[in-house]
Amino acid sequence: MSMNFEQIQAFLHREARLLDDRQWDEWLTCYHEDAVYWMPCWDDEDTLTEDPQTELSLIYYPNRQGLEDRVYRIKTERSGASSMPEPRTTHLRSCLEILERSEGQVKLRFNWQTNSHRYHSTQMFFGTAFCTLDVTGEQPLITEKKVILNNDYINQVIDIYHL
């Protein structure tokens, strides 16, 4: 499947909408079984950690099973970051760039912002994301997602629906 810019953008918007609509199971279908989902930390010197195996990460799932477990906890109210009511979110994506295309794969970069509202309070999270898409099937699948959280001094636990 060869994807043009508009199709890639539509896929990323759909993934964000599924989070906003709390369609957790359908959101998971955007991810390959072996997808790596990683949000590195900023160290004391304002440098991002580089190795999720040896350095601290805000979120790290080495495959989709970790995301599936996270979704299970959200759906069954066993989430440390979430309690009822779940936050209302609006995900915004902008500045999409295609960094590289190769046979069956597209590497992307985009900026993101998520507004999250719960308990009469609104939080905003923002940053940059890097994604690799497998475009060999009927629908693209995210095989790798690295999310940079630029406003990392927050007074709550961050979860997948904030990103």
What per-residue confidence (pLDDT) applies to 79?
A: 52
C-alpha distances in Å from residue 103, one per residue of 133, 135, 161: 11, 9, 31
Strands 121-134 and 141-149: antiparallel
What per-residue confidence (pLDDT) applies to 80?
A: 52
What per-residue confidence (pLDDT) applies to 150?
A: 93
**Residues 97, 112 contacting (CB under 8 angstroms):** no
Residue 48, C-beta contacts closer than 8 angstroms, at least 6 positions apart: 40, 41, 42, 148
DSSP class of residue 42 equals B
What is the model's pTM?
A: 0.91
**Structure tokens of 119?**
């308990």
Strands 105-118 and 57-61: unpaired
Place of tokens 């955007």: 30
Query: Residue 82 pLDDT more than 50?
Result: no
**Structure tokens of 63?**
């495959």
**Residues 83, 74 contacting (CB under 8 angstroms):** no
Q: Residues for the chain: how many in total?
A: 163
Encode pLDDT of 83-132 as tens digits: 567 789 999 999 999 999 999 999 999 999 999 998 888 899 999 999 99
Percent of the chain topping pLDDT 90: 69
DSSP class of residue 87 equals P
- Domains parsed from the chain with CATH numbers: 5-162 (3.10.450.50)
